[in-house]
Each structure stands twice: as structure tokens, then as C-alpha cells.
Structure 1
């Protein structure tokens, strides 16, 4: 049997103290081994508490916590914060020394005549306002205004250029540096590969694969701010590169298509980039190139998607974008390219925006583009003005799409008398329906949208637009 550090004679002494006079030696050795194991177990648990408290000295409280964890009744009377000191006393020669706790002697007279300790206060809770609508109330629980001003003066000082700086280490101010957003090596490598793939003009297959990954991957939430910053940076510094601008818009669209990304907090960073590609004065190196119109169309569609998806959540989103586009559309000092982007951007906001904001301004806008369109020479300005006129025509098509004028008029018929209802119906079933270029119809259209747009509508023979405009003109006469 393995010898124990704990002597078996001590076990026999304890047994004799509780009335067990004859204890077998083998039993004493087994009990000594068990006592040694229990001591090691208690010390091991106590050292865990010691390390957790970042100490190097084992205290009584560590032993008590260890006993409580092991479901053993703790020691009573040993709760000092300092380690227990033992004294040594020699009994007889040849006998082991006797260890005892060093303790001061206390006389009974002093204990009896000593005053009673004060009764501790009961635990109570109270509440107070830290701030009310941003203003800190002047109550004893809050720091006073003088203390706050003194502490602020100690921490900062004003220098000549009206900036603020720390006054030095003597103020005791702790400066916390910005925390870096740490991403894994795999995500960093993925971001670099995607960045290289979408900017590779010679490998369309790789670009499509990168966009598909952005559209479907579910683990990109940590990289979302990096992609948003990438789009903003590339658009700001590459306004003359249509390829990069187009790819940045496709990357943005792919991020919006990804159902696993929470992109709402980044709308204020994304929308300016989209508006730049929509209403910028010049996109691309060659002003005569027509490729920038496709980029503006893509940006307008993306802007309409954002307003449709988040317009109900953020009530000021759509009005603010509409106000920005309308301001660009009505500014006659802006180039036609900016007007084109503003028109198609407003058209994506919905039929009501077209009816209220675009249509009433078509006739006035005609004065700005009429001379360039009627010019005999084929110039860049004529091409740009023609594109603006086509954009206005397309907006009218969107407004008249899926319109049912007969059903709209039936709602007015049911709310009035029969003879008056018959007079309210527009004469779309007469000769005007068979000939949309009749003089009466033409005069009405010119009054509403101007001569250039009327000629364009009649040339295209778009009956839906004509019917919608005639209905609006007729209803306008009724309600006026």
C-alpha cells in the first residue's frame, strides 16, 4: 500500500478522542490516504479562486469557497483577510512540535464592560433622475455644475486655432483609442478576391460569379460596411470610368438582393453614391458616348427599389429623394444629362409623383429644349434634349400603364344623377377615339403637355397616353 503524507497515528488520535480505542492499522492507513486526497481536492479548488482573483497568496476565503463548491460545511471563525499564523511549541524531546493559532488574550472584564456595537443600517433603495430631456437636475445625487466645469477645464485647454487638446498626463484623463474592426483572414481574402473579380474587365464569367456570391452568400454581414465604403470610394474617384461605375451599381444591387444582410443602417451612405451615378453632370471620358444613359437607368431602377422597400419604414426617405431630384429637374442651369437622370429617377417613385411633379412641368420644360430639338444640326445638345423628351414620354407611359378610365368614371357615375353622369364621360368613344390626331384632341394635349410632347405622342400613336390625358383633363374641368 502506498504510504500517505498524512500520518496514520493522527487518525488513531482522532479516533481515540471520539471513543474508538482500538483502530486497526490498515484502517488508519486507508483513512489517511483518503484524508490526503480530500486535502488535495480542497487546495486545488481553492487555488482556482486564488487565480481568478489574480492573487498569489492562498487565503481563508479561498478555502471557504472551495468547501462550499465541494458541498462541505465550511470552517467557522477563520474569516480574516490575512493568512492565519501558527505558533510552534515543543512538548518533549523526541515528540513532534505542537502548532497552535496565535491569538491575543482578552480579559472578561473588558469584554463585559465594552459598549455594544452600532446597529447596521437596513438596506434601502432610492431613485433619482440623471437627466430630464437632456438637462441634468441640480440635486445632491448628481454632480454640481461647478464640479463639471472644473473637471472639463482640467481635462481640456483651448489653443490658438480654436481646437481642443488634452492638457497632459497630469490631468488623469484616460484617452481611449479607436477600436479596430477585426475580421478573419478568410473574410479579408474573400473581400480582396471579390474586389479583384468585379473590376476585371476581361473576365465576364468571373464578374458574374462574384455578383452571384454577393447576392446569395449568408456570411457577409461583417464585410457589409467594407463593401459600402468600397462603392462610395470607387464612385468618388472614378467618375470618368463607366465600367467601374456600372460594376459598383451592380454590386450595390446584389447587396440589396441578399436576404441575409441588414442593409438599412447603411442607406445614408449608399443613396448619395446612387444619386451621383444618376444626376452627375458628366459620366465617362467621352461626352458623346451614349453608354452613360444605361448607367443612369440602372441607378434610377435601384433608387426606385430602395424607396419601394424602405419607404414605409423611413417616412422621410422618399420625400427627401424626390425633393432632390425635382430640384435638379427644375434647375435650368443644369445640363440635360442631369435633367435626364432626374426625370427617370422621379418616374421610378410612382404614378402619383409623375402626375403631380413631372406632368405639370412638361410644358414649361419644353421652352428649355425646344430650340435644341428643332435645330437642323445634329449636335450633342440636340441628342441630349431628345433623350430628355423620350424620358418624359416614358414617364407618361408609366403613368398610363394599366389605367382603366372607364372604371374611374363609373365611380363618379354612381355618385351623381344619370343625366349629369352622361355629360361627365369623356368622348373617347367618338371620332376622337378613332383619330387621336384630331384638332380637338391635339389642342387639349398641347394645353396639358406642350407642342413637342404632343407631336411625339401623336407620332408614336400611343392611345393609352391620350386616353389618360383626356381623362385627367376632363376630371380637372369637373372638379374645377
Structure 2
């Protein structure tokens, strides 16, 4: 009866392999120990192979390499094998072993001369890993940097390769081109074909994809905003609240601005629509989730139009009747709202656009000194300069009040309109008031304005406005504000 231990079903079967390795080292290993050691080696090899296969699969490969084995050994905290790579094919050689002529295949190890290895040139030092960043586009505009393609190269590409699938008119390029080609074949006109191709090349093509939900939202909001039905007033307020508070509306901003511009252009006689459009602008500006900086220059023409336009609302031929006076006041209220929005936008975006404030100031001053402009434009220009700040009032407005009074007020025969403009100027000058705080305040108020100060005031703003200011109860504070920092009043 054979007393040998049963063979193990391992890669190391039979376990004689372990005994042969032990005998070569001069170790007398019992059969039972050899069996247990063979099974432990089998377990370790299985563990390394499973982990190596994981590295292979995560590398999207189907061939197991020596690098996978090395990574597995590192993870298992086992010293990896050195000197093995799979970059060169293995060179097997054949030899005969023993008296029976058993064939044995072995790997031919190339002999390397040590001196040759020492004297050969060292490999080049690898370049240090670096990262470079550049702007592909800033607010939809591609900067001129070497990493970006030139505009000429982009224009030479066909629209489809540029990513454009629809034109600014909302027409699909592919279907439009196909329909054009079909019509040309039917009609057989070469001139129409050349014209159509030229138009398609010159049109700026953009790709702007809106979801169905955003399109539905835009259509519903626009429908409510232009509605004149009093029953939909609650829906209009809800739409304005949504524009003011809801996030995720950034894709619709250019569409809302275009909608506001179209309504202001086409509905200058409708006071309610104009007030609603100003409320839309206010809601968009107050929405903190919308980045409105790129659209400021598109909003300014809308606001300046409502502030300085010659005619807003129905045409008023005569302001003597009380009804027409109320109608004029309602038109001026639109300009007041526009002036408030102008001040709000300059306060928020004035630091981002340094040229915004001086350009608007020049526009307002030009409209103020134009004698051909009606009272609405004059009133809007005064309100705009008032909201630009005390510095603009002192440097720009006060210096031109004498000329303005002669060219505008003295040539206007309507007392109602003249009173509106003069009272507005008085309110603006009252904004500069400087009050005296101290024990001598009452004594100082009892003193009259000196003749020297009166003459300087007349020289600064003209005699009619000077008389009007001197008749006011707070005349000394107003004069002190006009000459603040120049003379003591």
C-alpha cells in the first residue's frame, strides 16, 4: 500500500516540486509540510493573478503584462520583480537533457559586458511635467492667443464643421440647403443659386439650443407681459417675480433683452407696456443668479430711449387742460423710472465698465442743451444727471445752467412745462445742500446772504435761478452746497 500523501490539485502539483526545491537548498522537508507549503504557494499565486487581472481590465486590455504583475505585487506589499519586461520578444533555445534525449527549452540570457554598460551614454533626462492653461473663449469671444485657431481659418470651415446647426433666424442649415437645392433644380435659375449661397455664407451662424421647458417658459412669460387684460395682472406680477428670483434663466437673457428692445421700439405710445419693460429690466438686474455683465451695453439703449425719447405715450398738443396735464405727468413718470434704473445699473456695473459713466454723462448733457428737444427729453436729461451723483451735478450741470436757462426756459411759452423744469432744477440743487451743525446755527440762519455771494451766484447760474434760490427757506444751505469748498457762505 502506498503511504504517500495524496497529490494536491494546485499549480504546484505534484508537491515534489517543493521537495526538489528544499533538497536543492539542503533542507530535509517532510511530505506533509511540502504539501501544505505547496498549497500556500498556490493561494499566493492565485491572489497575485486575480489582482493583476483587475489591473489589466481597468487598463482596457485583454493581454496580461508584467507591469500588471508588478503593480499587484506593490499593492500586496511584496517586493516586485526586477529585470523582466515585455518590450522585447523572449528568445527560447532548445537543448537535449539526459541519456534519453529529453528536449528542454530555456530562455537565452544575453551576456552584457560590464565595461560597455558603464561607458555608454546616459539616457536623456525626461522633461519635467508642466501644465499650461489658456482661455478657449471669454464670454463667447475667442481671444487671440497662439493656442487658439485664427479667425480666418475658422471662417474657411463649413458651418457644419464649426458646430453651427441653426442660423440666427431659427432655420436649420441642412434643411435650408436641401430645400434651396431642390428649388433651384425645379426653377433652373443659376443666379438665384449664387445669391442664396452668398447669403448663407455671410450670415453669422450660431448654435444655441434651448430646452422645450425654457421655450415654453419664455412664450408664457412674454404672453403675460404684453397682455392688456386686467384679469392677468396677478400673472404679470408672478412672471416678474419669477424673473427676479428664479435661477437657471441665463440662457433666456439675450431673448428677454431682445424682446424688451422690440417692445420699446414698437410700443412707444403705450405707457403700460413701457412701464412693464422697465420692470422686466429691473427684475433681470436684481436676479443674483444671472451674469448680466455682457448684456449691459444692450440694456443701455433701451433705458436711454425711455429717458430721452422725444415722444412717449400719446401725442399731447396742448397742456392747458387738466386732462392733458395728468397725461404728461404719467409720461414723465416713465422717465423717472428709467432714471432710477439708469442709476441702479451704473452703481452695479460702473466699476466693470469704466467708460460707461462718462459716455452716459455726455449723452445726457447733449440732450439737455439741445433746444429742439421737447420737455420730456429735457426732464429726462435732468433726472439722469441728478442720479449720476453730486460730482456730476457740480461739474457738468451747474456749469451749464445759465446757457440752458436762456436757450430752453426763456424760449418756452408754456408756463406749466417751464414750472416742471425749474422745479426739477431746484430739487437737483437742493440735493447739494450743506447744513450747518453747531451752536451758532440759529445766528447764522438769521444773517442774510452777502451781496458778494449773490453776485457770484448770479455769475454761476444766472439771475433768474439765483432769485428763485434766494426766495427759498433753505437758500443758504443750497448756496453753500453750490460753492462748497470754494468760498465760505
TM range (shorter): 0.5 to 0.7
Q: Which moved more, 1:238-247 or 1:26-35?
A: 26-35
Deviations 1:207-262 (A, max 9, x none): 22232233334x34xx3363255224431454232444433321222233344555
- The answer on whether the counterparts of 1:11 and 1:28 sit within 8 Å (CA) in structure 2 is yes
Q: Please point out which of 120, 139, 146 is paired with 1:117.
A: 120
Asked whether the 8 Å contact 1:360–1:449 carries over to 2, the reply is: no
Give CA-to-partner distance per residue, 1:74-106, whole Å, 9 cap, x none: 3322223367687899999xxx997755x4x64
The answer on whether the counterparts of 2:94 and 2:105 sit within 8 Å (CA) in structure 1 is yes
Q: Find the partner of 1:75 among 81, 91, 94.
A: 81
Alpha-carbon deviations, 1:247-287, whole Å to 9, x = none? 33212222333445554454344333322332234445x33
Structure 2 partner of 1:287:
315
Aligned pair partner of 1:61 in 53, 58, 67: 67
List aligned pairs for 1:388-407, cutoff 5 A: 390-401=420-431, 403-407=433-437
CA distance in 2, matches of 1:191, 1:4: 76
1:15-66 superposed Cα distances (whole Å, 9 cap, x missing partner): 64145451465775575356334412221222212x2xxx554443344334
**Which residue of 1 is the match for residue 234 of structure 2?**
205
Quote the RMSD (CA, aligned, Å).
5.3
- The answer for unaligned runs of 5 or more in structure 1 is 128-147, 158-163, 170-174, 376-381, 412-420, 433-439
| Contact 2:308–2:381 (CA under 8 A) maintained in structure 1 | yes
Q: Conserved in 1, the CA contact under 8 Å of 2:264 and 2:302?
A: no
Counterpart in the other structure of 1:448: 461
Q: Is residue 88–residue 100 contact of structure 1 (8 Å, CA) maintained in 2?
A: yes
| Counterpart residue number, 2:286 | 257
The counterpart of 1:35, out of the listed 27, 38, 45, is 45
The 1:45/1:353 distance shift into structure 2, 3 A limit, reads same
Residue of structure 2 equivalent to 1:160: none
Q: Distance in 1 between matches of 2:370 and 2:460?
A: 23
The C-alpha deviation readout for 1:329-374, integer Å capped at 9, x for no partner, is: 2233444433332221111112343333223433433344447642
Contact persistence 1:328–1:334 (CA under 8 A)? yes
Partner deviation per Cα, 1:191-212 (whole Å, 9 max, x = no partner): 5554454444432212222322
1:51-450 matches, within 5 Å, as 51=60, 57-81=63-87, 101=107, 103=108, 106=110, 116-121=119-124, 166=156, 177=163, 193-202=220-229, 203-217=232-246, 219-220=247-248, 223-224=249-250, 226-236=252-262, 238-241=264-267, 242=270, 243-264=272-293, 266-284=295-313, 286-288=314-316, 290=328, 291-311=330-350, 316-370=355-409, 373-374=412-413, 386=417, 390-401=420-431, 403-407=433-437, 427=448, 448-449=461-462
Deviations 1:411-439 (A, max 9, x none): 9xxxxxxxxx99x99516x9x9xxxxxxx
Instruction: Describe the shift of the 1:31–1:117 C-alpha distance in structure 2 as closer, same or farther (beyond 3 A).
Output: closer
Q: Distance in 2 between matches of 1:189 and 1:88?
A: 79
C-alpha distance 86-471 of structure 1, shift in aligned 2 (>3 A): same
The corresponding residue for 2:57 is: 47
Q: Are the structure 2 counterparts of residues 258 and 85 from structure 1 closer, same or farther at C-alpha, using a change threshold of 3 Å?
A: farther
Deviation, structure 1 residue 71: 3.8
Q: For 1:83 and 1:182, how far apart are their aligned partners in 2?
A: 54
Q: TM-score, normalised by structure 1?
A: 0.62
Q: Secondary structure at the match of 1:463?
A: coil
Kept after mapping to 1: 8 A contact 2:243/2:283: yes
Report how many residues are paired.
395
